[in-house]
Structure 1
Amino acid sequence: MTYARQSFTEGLETLPRMPSWVTSARPETPEDVAFLSGAALNHLHLVLSRDEVPQSLLRARLALRAAEVCVAFSGRPERAGELRDAVHLLRPGDLPGPAGETCLAWRRAVERPVSIKALGRALPAFEPGQIAGWLDTGQGMPVARAAMVLEAVLTKAPRSDVPALILADIALAQALGWDYLMPLLATGLKRADLRKRGDDLRLACHRALVSSAVEAVRLSTDLARRAAHLKAVAPKLRAKGAGDAVEMFLTRDAMAPSALPLTDRAARRLCDRLVDLGAVRELTGRDTFRLYGV
């Protein structure tokens, strides 16, 4: 094992693990649920502060999961594979379709630091003033603020599940002092939860955040390990532009070879080489129109 790879591995061993009492507890009261969600979010906050975690890649992967949940809420059949295709295989002038629009909204929401301007790009159907007004609705502790924003949006625009969940996660991120949205509520809430209001909705948000924060920590550890391996094998790559390609893989959920800063042939060879080295995976199982990711 090289020194570089060893140092990456040692760093991963120091990533704090979610306490077992958070994952195994069976809360019986609203106070229990609120305590567990706070503990889970605090632990996730500690994990997100570590340099080993590829933050952009984590947000992109969580955004895909959030989009998948939202598409399922709407009754559509598309899942992760189809959503990746809808975004990454678009040709100039093509429309992504409803499922693709949902995926793009989440993707755009996590790409840039939280701001009204950035949210306007993710949610073009809403005016900046309207977005700011909804975010100002939230008061109190982080989960309560997120639940209030979620309720405010769904009350005013009952069919706007995606904007409501994005803005609720924004409110949570702001309350926790995070610069970027971290998709959590959408991946933990159930469709029926979106019809709840008041204390019932707040309790549903607490429950959702226990499970989604635990899963986000697990994903963080997995991606940190995969990212460390990709960085360790990067010196073996000889293709011009390989370094830039590696950085792209470390920040994006999936990549088509054509999106890499290499010629088509060199990009395909690089992707095959990275697969052989176990540094990236081919995500589609197809012989053509392939997509690759960490």
Structure 2
Amino acid sequence: MSGAALSQLHLVWRRDEVPHALLRDRLALRAAEASVAFSRRSEQAVELRDAMHLLRPADLPGPAGETYQAWRRAAERSMSVKTLTRALPGTEPEQIAAWLDAGHGLTVTRAAMALEKVLSDAPRATAPALVLADAALAQALGWPHLVPLLASDLKRSDFRKQGEGLRLACHRALIGSVSEAIRLSADLTRRAAHLKAIAPKLQAKGAADAVEIFLSRDAVAPSALPLPARAARRLCDRLVELGAMRELTGRDTFRLYGV
């Protein structure tokens, strides 16, 4: 069943109309939320978004924000040891390469073995272990990017398992997480198509570049757009009126927007 699910997701990744970067970024948020919960912290998606997108240059994102940052960095660029080192700055490249090579055999088995090896060497490194397990999975499937899948449907008790027990837990987790990823891809593809359809009607200078940013990120603060502050806010509000964008916070200030 997990193999069938991954085969279907593989077909999704081959479709040009799917907003791949946006989908990976949205899945990174789900993975970060799960990873934070595994460390017994209470931050939900809304807090993680704030920790990342409202961060000022001199500020630190905090433990939960760092976890979210790791997932986003791991998924946003083509997968390599260099990309994973950037996502996990406290880990040496040689160690990352060794953990990635720890798995062998079939696809999910390789991911489970990488997860087990990292947790064996660093029992508290749950988030890095999950990142590297997804990296091993993507590597086995020949995907150019890491796709955050395992974290969102594993259970805390699964991390105490080894061997066959952990492998079966990864299979079960993938059945659920891949189904959600496919559902999410369909929703984001529809929303992205609507945004692309109305993009030529936007008259603000820099609107085309802003649309490209929205099509690659889970959430965007107006200050991150290549427009003057007032024009950026007006563009975001206009896109909400047109049904091409959602305001994600429910606040009157420090708002975030996403497809």
What is the TM-score with the length of structure 2 in the denominator? 0.99
How many Å apart are 1:47 and its aligned residue? 1.0
Paired position in structure 2 for 1:231: 196
Question: Which residue in the other structure is 1:91 paired with?
Answer: 56
Q: CA deviation at 1:226?
A: 0.3
2:165 to 187, 195, 200: 200
Please give the alpha-carbon distance, in whole angstroms, between the structure 2 residues aligned to 1:283 and 1:98.
Answer: 22
1:170 aligned partner:
135
Deviation at 1:187, TM superposition (A): 1.2
Corresponding position: 1:253 with 2:218: yes
* Percent identity over paired residues: 73
The correspondence for 2:106, drawn from 133, 141, 148, is: 141
Residue number among 222, 235, 242 corresponding to 1:270 in the alignment: 235
How many angstroms apart in 2 are the aligned matches of 1:166 and 1:269? 37
C-alpha distance after superposition, 1:122-163 (max 9, x if no partner): 001111000100111110011000000000000000000000
2:256 is the alignment partner of 1:291: yes
Superposed CA offset, 1:45-76 (max 9, x none): 01111011100000000000000001111111
Q: Paired residue for 2:44? A: 79
Q: How does 1:23-42 map to 2 (within 5 A)?
A: 36-42=1-7
TM-score, normalised with respect to structure 1? 0.88
TM superposition shift of 1:224: 0.2
From 244, 251, 260, give the equivalent of 2:209: 244
| Whole-angstrom CA distance in 2 between matches of 1:133 and 1:47 | 30
Q: Deviations over 1:171-209 (max 9, x none)?
A: 000000000000011111111111110000000000000
**Equivalent position amino acid for 1:234 in 2:** A
Take 1:40 and 1:108, find their aligned partners in 2: how far apart are those partners?
25
In our comparison, the structure showing a higher alpha carbon Rg is 1
Provide the alpha-carbon RMSD of the alignment. Answer: 0.5
What secondary structure does 1:126 align onto?
Answer: coil
SS at match of 1:137: coil
Residues in 1 aligned to 2:62 and 2:89: alpha-carbon distance in whole angstroms? 16
Question: Offset of 1:263 from its aligned partner?
Answer: 0.2
Task: Name the count of aligned residue pairs.
Answer: 259
Unaligned runs of 5+ in 2: none
